[in-house]
Structure 1
Amino acid sequence: MQHMQSIQHWEPEEPEYDGQLELPGIALDKSDDLLVSLGELEEELERARLTLEETELLRRFRRTSAENRRMVLQILGG
């Protein structure tokens, strides 16, 4: 034990916090590409969101009998 050198206490540098969380696998630079992509994603989600009427029709379709669902699908199919 006499030959052991003392180990200096090392603390890693803390990254500067600018309020932005970093996600693993996404390298953020100073471009707006991420904001553009998030905007496009939000638009697509809004476009795909069901209206209240569509939600009610889907709820009723799911509650009906298998025979009624089959007839509705037949009518819709042609």
Structure 2
Amino acid sequence: MQHAQPIQHWEPEKPEDHGQLELPGIALDKSDELLESLAELEEALEKVELSGEEVELLRRFRRTSAENRRMILQILGS
């Protein structure tokens, strides 16, 4: 190692920071499209949101014994 060259320090390129994260698949150039997409997403989430009764049933299902859960799933599968 008589003629070893010094190791150069390498720094990765820093991405440009415009104060906003860029999310894949979302074009930020047209804000109306973004707002429409967000409204559509909110509607879809509201459709699958559990009611209070469903939350309580799920809580009880999780607390019950494994045997009771199996019986419930058998009944629902019928």
What TM-score do the two structures reach when normalised by structure 2?
0.66
**Separation of aligned partners in 2, 1:34 and 1:23:** 14
**Separation of aligned partners in 1, 2:59 and 2:35:** 35
In the alignment, does 2:23 pair up with 1:58?
Answer: no
* Alpha-carbon shift at residue 27 of structure 1 (Å): 3.6
Report the secondary structure of 2:54's partner residue: helix
Match of 2:22 in 1: 24
Question: Quick check: which has more Rg, 1 or 2?
Answer: 1
**Separation of aligned partners in 1, 2:30 and 2:62:** 48
- In structure 1, stretches of 5+ residues that fail to align are 1-14, 16-20
- In structure 2, stretches of 5+ residues that fail to align are 1-17
**Separation of aligned partners in 2, 1:30 and 1:23:** 16
1:11-63 deviation per Cα after TM superposition (whole angstroms, max 9, x unaligned): xxxx7xxxxx6331444224511111100000011111100000000000000
Runs of 4 or more consecutive aligned structure 1 residues displaced over 6 Å after TM superposition: none
**Separation of aligned partners in 2, 1:30 and 1:67:** 54
Report the secondary structure of 1:32's partner residue: helix
